[in-house]
Amino acid sequence: MLPIVTIVGRPNVGKSTLFNRLTKKRNALVDDIPGVTRDRLYATIEWDGRNFVLVDTGGFDPSHRGEISDKVKKQVEMAIEEADLIILLFDGRAGPVLDDGELFMLLRRSEKRVLYAVNKIDGPEHEHLSMEFYSLGMEKVFSISSSHGYGISSLMEQLIRDLPVIEQLPEEEGRIKIAIVGRPNVGKSSLINRIIGSDRLVVSELPGTTRDSVDISFEKGGKSYLLIDTAGIRRRGRVKGKIEKFSIIKALKAINRCHISVILLDAFAGVYDQDLRICGYALESGCGMVIAFNKWDLVKNNPSSIRPLEDSIDRQLGFVSFVPKINISALYGERVKKLFTLIDTVWTQYNSHFPTPAINRALENIVKKHPPPLIGGRRLKLFYATQISIHPPTFIIFVNRPDDINLSYKRYLVNQFREQFGLNLIPIKVFFRER
């Protein structure tokens, strides 16, 4: 569970510049989310030992209609609802304007923790420009320059102090945590109802660890599961335009907590960009994955629909080709039992631990099969390896020059480790360290 920090403000106040400054600063270690951060919307950050998700939003600009339009109001309200801490950014050169006041009042009514920052203050000689914003009613403003870095340290020191600690309820050992995630209207609620509606399941509801989810504890086939329900994601018809990106935040919360994410796609509608973003984040987080194509009952008897779906899977989901995929119908219960068979198989691999001697025998065979390349006339040496953790299985290989291992050989080693140890359905992590 990571706290969420959202940057809001009018257009052109420097939100994206601040986002880039915080995610690329030297003392901020950035974990990019594939398919999402290319749009500069989300990034997972470690700053001074604290981790959080940073979110960039669209500009608050109701002036074209003279009042807050439904679209913009929903966008800002969603950003406020999902955030654990908010940075409200102002334009120091423009001074306070009417839209700043409206946004300030909206945040004040939310009772969320807000840090107020006046941007485009390039140095101490411009500090006086930020004084005007006290007229809006806040107790403290931070004078910063997103472009030049002025004042960023003070802002971040306060942010880290105010960053909430997300409380997580204690969970029973041995329980497999499964998150059901996906776009709006793909059938998450139907699948959850189908799972917990079975007479064989012993179900008890636990208080949600997030504001809009319910954790469902149940047993099936002698195994204990914790189902993380993300049914709070808004339906597309109710959430338009850029605001739909906030549905990913709910997916982030669930994926950060689970062992295995069941990523639900709509087989009838096909593969959307947002599906790829959610798959990309799940892959980056290292959780186990199962991709389930729901509403198969609408597709299976229509060959003209099956072929385009297969083509889009091959073309768009190639980066998660190892992830097991299944066609289901949550409405009719078709292949839902097989879904749990897949989940159990993924869990077995995800929970695997191997003895160090076996790992080193495998490493020796891998290197004999394809020795590391020559770098500067010298060959890299891979001395030994060990597994340091599970969930997912994570290995460290000790080498003489870790910085010289190129991407293709890293990929080869990862693929060979997965093949040697039968980890063909899960992501694994391999790190390199100098002996």
Q: Which residue has the higher pLDDT, 342 or 56?
A: 342
CA–CA distance, 14 with 189 (Å, rounded to integer): 39
**Percent of the chain whose pLDDT exceeds 70:** 80
CA–CA distance, 219 with 117 (Å, rounded to integer): 49
CA–CA distance, 328 with 346 (Å, rounded to integer): 18
CA–CA distance, 202 with 219 (Å, rounded to integer): 6
Neighbours of 212 (CB within 10 A): 14
H/E segment holding residue 345: helix 336-350
Q: What is the token pair recorded at 319?
A: 């980066």
Q: What is the pLDDT of residue 232?
A: 41
All structural domains of the chain: 4-162 (3.40.50.300), 176-350 (3.40.50.300), 356-434 (3.30.300.20)
Is the model's pLDDT at 38 over the cut of 60? Answer: no
Q: Which of 265, 182, 242, 270 is nearest to 42 (CA)?
A: 242
Burial class (CB in 10 A: 0-12, 13-18, 19+), 143: buried
Write the pLDDT tens digit of every residue in 360-418. 999 999 999 999 888 777 888 899 999 999 999 999 999 988 888 888 999 999 999 99
Q: Which of 45, 51, 126, 54 is nearest to 85 (CA)?
A: 54
Contact between 187 and 29 under an 8 Å Cβ cutoff? The reply is: no
Q: What is the token pair recorded at 76?
A: 């800002």
Could you give the angle at which helices 336-350 and 188-196 cross, rounded to 10 degrees?
A: 90
CA–CA distance, 65 with 63 (Å, rounded to integer): 5
Write the pLDDT tens digit of every residue in 139-163. 899 999 998 999 999 999 999 999 8
Neighbours of 357 (CB within 10 A): 9
Write the pLDDT tens digit of every residue in 259-287. 999 999 999 988 988 888 889 888 888 89
Q: What is the token pair recorded at 407?
A: 């991407």
Contact between 382 and 419 under an 8 Å Cβ cutoff? The reply is: no
For residues 43, 70, 247, 275, the Cα torsion angle rounded to the nearest 10 degrees is -90
Q: Which residue has the higher pLDDT, 199 or 249?
A: 249
Write the pLDDT tens digit of every residue in 44-87. 788 888 888 888 877 777 665 544 445 555 656 776 777 899 99
For the chain, state the CA radius of gyration: 24
Contact between 328 and 294 under an 8 Å Cβ cutoff? The reply is: yes
> What 3-state DSSP class applies to 182?
strand
Q: How far is CA 1 from CA 14, 33, 285, 434, in A?
A: 28, 16, 12, 32
Q: What is the mean pLDDT of residues 230-249?
A: 48
Q: Which residue has the higher pLDDT, 31 or 371?
A: 371
DSSP, res 318: G
Q: Tell me how far apart the 2 most distant CA atoms of the chain are, in Å.
A: 71
Q: What is the pLDDT of residue 185?
A: 79
DSSP, res 338: H
Please tell me the pTM assigned to this model.
Answer: 0.64
Question: SS3 helix, strand, coil % of the chain, rounded to 5?
Answer: 40, 25, 35
CA–CA distance, 151 with 168 (Å, rounded to integer): 33
Contact between 122 and 131 under an 8 Å Cβ cutoff? The reply is: no
Beta strands in 247-362 (DSSP E): 260-266, 288-294, 325-327
Give me the phi and psi of 135, to 5 degrees please: -65, -20
